[in-house]
Structure 1
Amino acid sequence: MKINKILNNNAVVVKEGTEEKIVMGAGIAFQKRKNDVINQHKIEKIFVMSEENEKFQELLRSLPEEVIDIAEEIISYAEGYLQVPLSNHIHIGLTDHLSFAINRTKSGYPIKNKLLNEIKTLYAKEFHVGEWAIRYVKEQIGLTMPEDEAGHIALHIHTAKLDSSNMQSAIKHTSMITELLELLEERIGYPLQRNSISHQRMVTHLHFALNRFEMNEPFHDIDPDMLDLIKSKHEEAYRYAQAMGEYVEQEYNVSFPLSEVGYIALHIQRIIDRT
């Protein structure tokens, strides 16, 4: 395997037939030139990026090597911890994002994540990876990043899982849930206890409800007598649930059936009872 192009000290491009591959490894290009043979023992990762090949090469040429190395360590840790392969795009998306976040933090600009509480609940394992990542950044370059950044990294990791939704869909759903919870807080007149079990169950339920609608899957039925009981016994909670259903229909054209409104009302009542 011969070097066709050197991107940085730890990354080169090789050509096998008509196919270009990016080969990475610590010091793989040290004191090397084009057409030199690669030391096989230094190869750690090989990528075939297809249409994104040029963008990845540009990142490897332009970004500091320490940032690239940190991003690759985070990706390796994520794949090991989650026990799932991540799509090749994560090497572009996370590296680019991490570089921006590090520069922003160094410049003194705050990093905020409005979806942080919902991310913690919906993507707990990925958030653990995000927490590990900001600790690793601190160890490597002495930069303290906020918990909000762990949430951003968690979303990148989640959407890179090969069976997951894309970033746009994940952010949309999480934003919708955040808006619904803010609407509920406005209606009940006090802030929700974001770390409570009742809150976490509500977030998870809304997440699956939105997924069912998007995937055109049937919602769970509810006995008509049970629904009537919820309406009469938990009138206030049912009214709030109706308001949440009307909101997603008006703002996002998402329609919840009456059975789903009933289940949401039960979750709201648990929150009220435990407050």
Structure 2
Amino acid sequence: MIGKERQRIDRIVGNNVILTVDPRTTNEYVLFGKGLGFASKGLEWISTTDPRIEKRYRLDDRQPIKEFQDLIENIDPEVILISEKIVENVKERLGTPVQPKVYFALPNHIQFALYRLQNGMDINNPFLHETKINFPQEYEIAAQAAVMISESFGVPIPEDEIGFLALHVHSCVGTASVGQLVKLTGLVNRIVEHIEHHKGFPLQRTSQDYARLVMHMRAVIERLMLGRRVINPIVSELKVNYPEAFALAADIAVLIEEEMNLHISQDEIGYMAIHLHRLFETS
């Protein structure tokens, strides 16, 4: 008789991931754990209390197990293996658990990137510089991942692709999807272009003040996404002392509001004005 705390192993996805089925409910699961897939080879059942299971993810009707199986069947096993190594490096470097979907999203991204590179297609990343500023640690990890991919497949990984990998690294441990991160980074890039148009010359993108501005704009957008508010006790003084910067900050607020359909307070505009003023002084 099958123990009620066991699940049938339906498929071994990789060294760290297996697909299982609960024989009582027929619910389907993805189980994650270091070495879990490797240790499950040749086995039919796994205990639900196995200490190697780090995370359990039940597939609902919107994400049937067949979608994951189809995805895995179309991905080079070597891509899955290198993806798992990258994920393990992310967990080790950032010291935090990863989102389960990364085990599927990352190999899918890597396989498509390899297809483009192996067929002579360019990979262009218009948000590369802002990605480096906003996600420096993730970019460093992505650069290491690029070396691993290049050594495994004999394909040089360009810097633009490293930028995209950095977003996947951040998405590994964050709540935002890669799509949301691209949208956020793109909005920051449009803000920078708006500032450059206003000033009539390109900004010094290697300056510390530029980096602070970009990071602050990202923080503003993330606060809005999370519904967090800030208090600025000197907003009235900022309007008087930094009129140009405050007016431009108000314009940027409109741009963000139109993109995100969210209201930006005068307090938040005041903090943006401070960063803009610093940037203008050094430009």
Q: TM-score range by the shorter chain?
A: 0.7 to 0.9
The one-letter code matched in structure 1 to 2:75 is: L
Gaps of 5+ in 1: 39-43
Q: Is the 8 A contact 1:8 1:61 kept in 2?
A: no
Q: Write out per-residue CA displacement over residues 95-150 of structure 1, whole angstroms, 9 at most, x where no aligned residue.
A: 11110001111111111122222221222211111111111111212111111111
| Partner AA of 1:128 in structure 2 | E
Relative distance call for 1:199 and 1:223 in structure 2 (3 A) is: same
**Structure 2 Cα separation of the partners of residues 170 and 185 of structure 1:** 23
Give the match's secondary structure for 1:184. Answer: helix
Q: Give the distance between the partners of 2:115 and 2:261, measured in 1 at CA.
A: 38
The 2-side partners of 1:131 and 1:264 are apart by 31
**Structure 2 gap segments, 5+ residues each:** 1-5, 47-51
Q: How far apart in 1 are the matches of 2:54 and 2:266?
A: 52
Q: Deviations over 1:149-199 (max 9, x none)?
A: 1121121221221x5333343232222111111111111112222232111
- 2: distance between equivalents of 1:225 and 1:12? 58
TM-score (norm 1): 0.81
Q: 2:193 aligns with which of 182, 205, 216?
A: 182
Identity %: 26
Within 5 Å, give how 1:1-275 maps onto structure 2.
17=23, 18=26, 24-25=37-38, 48-51=56-59, 52=63, 53-161=65-173, 163-223=174-234, 225-230=236-241, 234-275=242-283
Letter paired with 1:190: F
Cα distance change of structure 1 residues 65 and 271 upon mapping to structure 2, 3 Å threshold:
same
1:205 is displaced (CA, Å) by 1.3
- Rounded to whole Å, the distance in 1 between the matches of 2:10 and 2:227 is 48
Query: Kindly tell me: are residues 268 and 4 of structure 1, through their superposed partners in 2, closer, same or farther at Cα, counting changes over 3 Å?
Result: closer
Deviations 1:1-35 (Å, cap 9, x if unpaired)? 99855668968756564555565239x75xx6xx7
Normalised TM-score (structure 2): 0.79
Return the offset for 1:237. 2.5
Q: Any idea what SS the aligned residue of 1:24 has?
A: helix
Please provide the CA RMSD for this pair.
Answer: 3.0
Verify the 8 A CA contact 1:227 1:259 in the aligned structure 2: no
Q: Is the 8 A contact 1:21 1:46 kept in 2?
A: no
Tell me how far apart the structure 2 counterparts of residues 13 and 164 of structure 1 sit (CA, whole Å). Answer: 23
